[in-house]
Amino acid sequence: MDQVSLLSILRELECELHQPQCRGDRDRLGQLLAADFREFGRSGASYTRDDMLASLPLETAAPQIHAQDFAVQELADSVVLLTYRSAHRSPSGELYRHTNRSSIWRLDSTGWRMVFHQGTPTDPFDQSAT
């Protein structure tokens, strides 16, 4: 698969995880997060797949998330690193909680599944035009 197609697929899956419909759907989350999933959150806390499956569906007000500057790098056969920047968007359109993000995705017989995610606070950045 070429890099452009791979980036498009993984960007779509990553952004799906930002959406309230996905975050509230335990079955869909279970499809996207690998059994051995781990996260080092923006806060510094560590989470497992079970933690995410228990907490995300209970969110009552998921923030609108802006994401940009996606890049993909192959780490091994069927294992890739996706990096990007994100921020929460306020109702007035302002960005806050700027974060550098990285996710490791692995392709298995059921499709791409996230095995690792990390969020690291960063200085504010300008919203990309794309």
Domain ranges of the chain: 3-121
With 70 as the cut, is the pLDDT of residue 129 above it? no
pLDDT of 59: 82
The Cα 96–Cα 62 span in angstroms is: 14
What is the rounded average pLDDT of the residues 2-12?
Answer: 93
Per-residue pLDDT, 37: 98
Q: What is the pTM of this model?
A: 0.93
The CATH number given to 3-121 is 3.10.450.50
Strand partners for 46: 40
Is 71 in contact with 85 (CB distance < 8 Å)? no
The residue type found at 43 is S
Q: What average pLDDT does the structure give for the chain? A: 94
d(CA 73, CA 26): 29
